[in-house]
Amino acid sequence: MDKRDLHARPVRARRRLRLLLASGAAAFTLTAGLATPLNPAPQQAQAKDDKSTLTVAVAQSVDSLSPFVAQRLISTSVHRLMYDFLTNYDAETGKAIPGLATEWKTSKDKLTWTYKIRDNSKWSDGKQATAEDAAWTYNQLMTKEGSALQNANFVANFKKVTAPSPTELVVELKKPQATMTALDIPIVPKHLWEKEGDLAKFNNDKKFPIVGNGPFVVTDYKVDSYVKLKANKDFWRGAPKFDELVFRYYKDQDAAVAALRKGEVSFVAGSPSLTPAQAASLKKTDDIKVNDAPGRRFFAIAVNPGARTQDGEKFGDGHPSLHDQKVRQALFTSVDRKTIIDKVFQGYAEEGAGYIPPRFKDYFWKPGADQEMSYDPKKAAQLLDDAGYKKNGDGKRVGKDGKPLEYRMLCHATDPNDKAIGKYLKEWWGDLGIGLKVDCMDNVTDPWYAGEYDLAFDGWSVNPDPDFVLGIHTCAALPAKPKETASTDNFICDKKFDDLYQQQLAEYDPAKRADIVKEMQSQLYDSGYMNVMAYPNAVEAYRTDQIKSITTMPKSAGNIYGQDGYWSWWSAVPADGSESSGDSGGSSTGVVVGIVVAAVVLAGGGFLIARRRRSTAEERE
């Protein structure tokens, strides 16, 4: 599905505050706000030529400019540039840092969170951004049907949200929630959005420029073509270096690469990565740098376990044989992950296992030797025999009804990996006596939500906090009505998984929470609903004669496109420009100084003061 092309959510940033709990008593926790931002050094007026515009070629089109309904990675990436969030991620450490909120604290029982809202953030129409904007946004998600398609998990546990003053936001919870600095929700201006009617249908694309308070302001948008943004000169963290940022949609990735060679675009993000052949070729090209780093995505096969609504109404036409765990495990036991890594990704990926990529080492899990479903065609055949699907005289697997096993698999037409792996699957499963039709299409969204598929190529961008990507497999994520858009990935609903999800959500101890998350991955692996085949590298490229420097995340070896923040595009320096003093852009503290360097925790009523080192220009990539 396009949303699996793949969210993450960049990017959905899950910011995790590691609370320190004193023995026998919960600790109040407060993160100090950043010092007053420096005014960036005045930049000389640039001529309006190509060098003041950063054009990004993307393989995905925007589905909506409304953060209430958008699902695709490109859309959520643009929202991160348009609107500020309560907190952000440090580009170097991935830890939660101030965003629109400069400070936060929790009550002793961890049921009330109070955020201090900065007083130097303005909407691009000149009005002050306040706690009331945040409270209004959260209340819409909590109360308006159809407004929380992708953010429902953040507010499902909210009891009440208020703004006692312009600089104070209070969130009351039903029970403790460990993701309260990981609320990946773009905050919109109440004074404009409250005039709109049905938020489930409003796409936020009727009036330009679109009012926001992020590092960029959207000035124009054309469906299936482009999104144009201009630098927000009044952004509290400092203005971006490029005057304009353009995301241009290319249905054909080879065409995007050709545009990069010609200098028509500055950066190519791939779909979501460049192919090995494209990367190898571009590495030999003058004025082009290829960024190859461990990715934040997984590439998987998803099974349709039987589409259903939250109240149990069944719909769709998924193959009933896939309700059998033995059949699902047989399919996955006949997938040779090593061949996929070597032949399809050609080394630009790691072999898949658990649901969380190894980049996030705290939560990364892989099965032991006794649990692993490694490539074993004989074992796969035995599992099918045991499930009652034996071969007939023609070598076809048939059920008790005599009908042969034949599956339909959803494939993204724009992703060459889907097509290549599909050929291998047809061969491997064909040897087992199973037929496979790989349906590669431009729009897989409609059949996916309708439950009209058997298997599908799937994948998500995972964030530092795993809550969102785990939440899409809970019963609460199922649609309310048949074929309705929902946050579910592939209709999984399992009570044990749900119980574990609630446990990790309420667990503030980082190590204990990580153990629960690993147990969830183990259960998901055994179920056979998701077969994670690979963790693709982030392989992307940009022109060094257009971009002098740009920040990856993490800085040591990370991605540029689809970050858990806006560091790449905010920090990018034109090749003919220079960095303003004190503004390195790569770290959370890029344009701020005077941040303290100590931590104090007082049990029951103290504060945790976070001090962060100011980054330097040398730290950039």
Interval 343-354 mean pLDDT: 95
- Provide the pLDDT for residue 86: 98
Q: Which of 560, 540, 464, 562 is nearest to 10 (CA)?
A: 562
- State the pLDDT at residue 429: 98
Mean pLDDT along residues 569-579: 83
Considering the four listed CATH numbers 3.40.190.10, 3.40.50.1980, 3.30.930.10, 3.40.720.10, the one that applies to the domain covering 53-287+539-574 is 3.40.190.10
Tally Cβ neighbours within 10 Å of residue 25. 12
What pLDDT score does 442 carry? 86
Mean pLDDT (whole number) for 411-428: 93
Q: Are 604 and 108 in contact (CB under 8 A)?
A: yes
Q: Is the pLDDT of residue 496 over 70?
A: yes
With tokens 């992307």, the residue in question is 540
Q: Is the pLDDT of residue 39 over 50?
A: no
Neighbour tally for 289: CB within 10 Å: 16
Look at residue 149 in the predicted model and tell me its pLDDT: 67
Give the CATH number of domain 297-537; options: 3.40.50.450, 3.50.50.60, 3.20.20.70, 3.10.105.10.
Answer: 3.10.105.10
Residues of the chain with CATH 3.10.105.10: 297-537
- Name the one residue in this structure whose structure tokens are 């201009």: 230
Minimum mean pLDDT among 121-125, 433-437, 564-568: which range? 564-568
Distance between CA atoms of 361 and 104, rounded to whole angstroms? Answer: 26
pLDDT above 70: percentage of residues in the chain? 84
pTM comes to 0.80
Taking only the tens place, the pLDDT of each residue in 52-73 is 899 999 988 999 999 998 988 8
Segment 159-186 mean pLDDT: 97
377-386 and 416-432 helices cross at what angle (nearest 10)? 60
Q: What's the pLDDT at 231?
A: 98
* pLDDT grade for 414, boundaries at 50, 70 and 90: confident
Q: What is the pLDDT of residues 240-251, one digit of tens each?
A: 999 999 999 998
pLDDT over 50 (residue 18): no
Q: Report pLDDT for 41.
A: 34
So what's the pLDDT on residue 371? Answer: 97
Residue 323 gets which letter from DSSP?
Answer: G
Span(s) in the chain for CATH 3.40.190.10:
53-287+539-574
pLDDT range class, residue 271, cuts 50, 70, 90? low
